[in-house]
Amino acid sequence: MNPNQALHALGQSLWLDNITRELLHSGTLERYIRDLAVTGLTSNPTIFEHAIGHSSAYDEAIHSMSRNVQSDGSRFFALALDDLTQAADLFRPIFDASAGADGWVSLEVSPLLAHDAANTIKQAAELHARANRPNLFIKIPGTLEGLVAIEASIFAGIAVNVTLLFSCQQYLAAAEAYLRGVERRIQAGLDPNVGSVASLFISRWDVAVNDTNPPQLRNRLGIAVAMQVYQAYCTLLASPRWQKLAGAGARPQRLLWASTGTKDPAAPDTLYVEALAAPRTINTLPEKTLLAFADHGQVKQMLPSGGGDAEAVLAECGRQGINPAALAERLQREGTEAFAASWRQLLQTIGTKTAQLTQAGAP
């Protein structure tokens, strides 16, 4: 049993934070499923910008769409849905065997809609219908406007991956939006079994403070926030409110660790995977981190459900002048802006390729 399989045996799902056409067509993703306990994957605009911009694998499809698909955004979603529906079909046996707890893929709405609830709701419904897969999440950011769209989408029966969460407060707001959507479905006589995950970003905390924190706090803030959120997650799953919904047939909104690749070159490349081992959670790993953990990772101990030393670390960070609540808001804002920048670059890349391929007459 390799380290990835050991984590899976302890109850944590490992999802790949990447997708490319080569990954699908070369059999690499199938190998990761078979050998490295990968049971799902996530995508975002940055991942697709890199995949399309640094490969010729999409050129034929881009060229063929140039005659009948008018906008670069429409071309992107056609390309992404092609990749992600193929991936969803690969994961479908896992989805079925786990009764929908695992085996998911994710497609994000346009990041330009992060503060536009109405159009997020509209686009989420359109993408969900086009995908036509029971194991495809629509990713919606946990902004104030995103929360409105999340509740509405859950009520509409659309599975949602809530992205760009950074703090316990933001996680609880996302959980509340999910719970309200499920409760509204029950009140309307609808099936409450709608999938969702809440994605907490980890490493960006440490990137933000490592240059100012003393050595004893280096790379500890992100893990402390995760401990705090995991405690809130366990408390929620044990609450009478959730138990009532579970009794009616609802499934839990699983907690997902995102941004778990180590950014500090002086830190172990498996830092966040080893620190965030916890049952009933998901860790979505960059490909490099997935392979590193399989090679030399260790399953040392499980994340404590009681919060561990999170409060002590957060208090010490406070004494260093760090305001976690304000920093979480900043990180969410910067994350939203970064995804929007990747989205614009992605569309520019598709537009440039379309023009070049049209001029050449063939990919």
Of 329-333, 347-351, 352-356, the poorest mean pLDDT is in 352-356
Q: Tokens 């090679």 label which residue?
A: 295
pLDDT at 106: 98
| Mean pLDDT, range 323-338, rounded to an integer | 96
Could you tell me the strand order of the sheet in which 38-41 lies?
Answer: 38-41, 13-16, 281-285, 254-258, 196-201, 160-165, 136-141, 105-108
State percent of the chain over pLDDT 70.
99
Q: What is the pLDDT of residue 68?
A: 77
Q: What is the mean pLDDT of residues 329-357?
A: 94
How far apart are the C-alpha atoms of 41 and 14, rounded to whole Å?
A: 8
Query: Chain-wide mean pLDDT for the chain?
Result: 95
- DSSP per residue, 266-318: TS-TTHHHHHT--TTEEEEE-HHHHHHHHHH-----PPPTT-TTHHHHHHHHH
- Note the pLDDT tens digit of each residue in 110-154: 999 999 999 999 999 999 999 999 999 999 999 999 999 999 999
H/E element, 171: helix 168-187
**Assigned token pair, 359:** 């001029």
Domains of the chain: 3-360 (3.20.20.70)
Confidence of residue 363 (pLDDT cuts 50, 70, 90): very low
Place of tokens 């809609």: 113
What 8-state DSSP symbol labels residue 68?
Answer: T
Active site residues: 139
**In terms of Cα–Cα distance, which of 127, 126, 105 is closest to 47?**
105
